[in-house]
Chain A
Amino acid sequence: MKRLKTIIKFYWSVIRRPSVHYSLGFLTMGGFIMGIIFWGGFNTALEFTNTEEFCTSCHEMRENVYAELQHTIHFTNRSGVRAKCSDCHVPHDWTDKIARKMQASKEVWGKVFGTINTREKFEAKRRELAEREWARLKANDSLECRNCHNFEFMDFTRQSKRASEQHSTALANDEKTCIDCHKGIAHQLPDMTGVEGW
């Protein structure tokens, strides 16, 4: 304890003391440039963890959820727009993104200890994992859906009768949010017994 105190005291005095050898310009400019490099590097690394290549580098993702996504309209479609993993599963806003990335450290734990490293284990966990995503999307009013699908820009006349009826009522008056009806649009559904609306 005493040792720790002396160490802290030493560094505190170092930080407080004015620089003897380096100019103020060098320190401020150096700090600024290092800041840019660190910040840029940090964000680049963060962005890399948002790529499809990164997500599908693990067999847990590649052989389960990624394989299922490939049959859906979010993977391939007439206009060639793809929603990749992070578009739906990682918030775009910086603070929310960092919060989600911190939560993802649990997923690293899962990877290391092989929580879902076989198809059977994944199937057994599917409901739990799905429920977590439904709850997240319900809580943020399907924000990740709305990053692309803006309610204001919807043309009900171009929708089918059923779709426009639901969107102009339940969705328009905020009774329901996207995920309430559009579950299992990108991945297979778990056993849905007891889920509301199923």
Chain B
Amino acid sequence: MKKLIITTLVMAFTVSWVQAQENIATLRGDTSLNQQGTPPVMPKVDNEDIKRKRNYPMQPPTIPHKIDNYQVDLKTNKCLSCHSRKLTEESRAPMISVTHYMDREGNFLADVSPRRYFCSQCHVIQTDAKPLVGNEFIDIDDLLNIEQSQ
């Protein structure tokens, strides 16, 4: 009797596991394990140099140009060679915001705060790739308009 229960349980588990496996969406897609799938075409980076709208006030602005091989490490920061306070006059690039010169207590520092040094932690490039999942984000202004009209 005990044996029968265990066997049934194990079989039930196996069946549900196999079914679950089929439903899992992976980057691999339908390609079987011993096959090499065709990778999707690499999307192009938007290099238009046109400032984009921010979706909410605190959003880190996205980068409107290529940043291939930009060196940002202990030795130097390529981004700051245009966007730092001292160099924006010549480069005419937007200066990194004042918050980048503040430590976490809100004290102003002479140079970029170490915690804000690695630009691409927050600021990213944009590509022409199609989004993999849908997005239902609504701009706060639109949301208020909808509420007011109701």
B65 surroundings in chain A (CB, below 8 A): 160, 162
Determine the residue in chain B with the shortest Cβ distance to A165.
B92
Determine the residue in chain A with the shortest Cβ distance to B74.
A191
A191 surroundings in chain B (CB, below 8 A): 75-76
From B47, B48, B78, B87, A184 is in contact (CB under 8 Å) with B78
Check A71/B69 contact, CB under 8 A, given A197-B81, A197-B87, A198-B81. Answer: yes
From A71, A160, A161, A190, B75 is in contact (CB under 8 Å) with A190
B49 within 8 A of A: yes
Cβ–Cβ contact A189 & B69, under 8 A: no
B80 surroundings in chain A (CB, below 8 A): 198
Cβ–Cβ contact A161 & B49, under 8 A: yes
Q: How far is the CA of A191 from the CA of B65 in the complex (A)?
A: 25
Chain B residues with a Cβ closer than 8 Å to the other chain, count:
15
Q: How far is the CA of A184 from the CA of B90 in the complex (A)?
A: 20
From A162, A188, A190, A198, B49 is in contact (CB under 8 Å) with A162
Summarize A's interface: helix, strand, loop or mixed. Answer: loop
Cβ–Cβ contact A188 & B71, under 8 A: yes
A72 surroundings in chain B (CB, below 8 A): 69
Check A184/B49 contact, CB under 8 A, given A197-B81, A197-B87, A198-B81. Answer: no
List CB contacts (< 8 Å) of A150-193 with chain B: 160-162, 184-185, 188-192
0/1 string, A66-88, CB within 8 A of B gives 1: 00000111000000000000000
Cβ–Cβ contact B75 & A188, under 8 A: yes
Check A189/B75 contact, CB under 8 A, given A71-B69, A197-B81, A198-B81. Answer: yes
B47 surroundings in chain A (CB, below 8 A): 160
List CB contacts (< 8 Å) of A106-123 with chain B: none
Cβ–Cβ contact B75 & A192, under 8 A: yes
A189 surroundings in chain B (CB, below 8 A): 71, 75-76, 78
Cβ–Cβ contact B69 & A198, under 8 A: no
4 closest residue pairs by CB, A with B = A192-B76, A161-B49, A191-B75, A189-B76
A: which residues have CB within 8 A of B?
A: 71-73, 160-162, 184-185, 188-192, 197-198
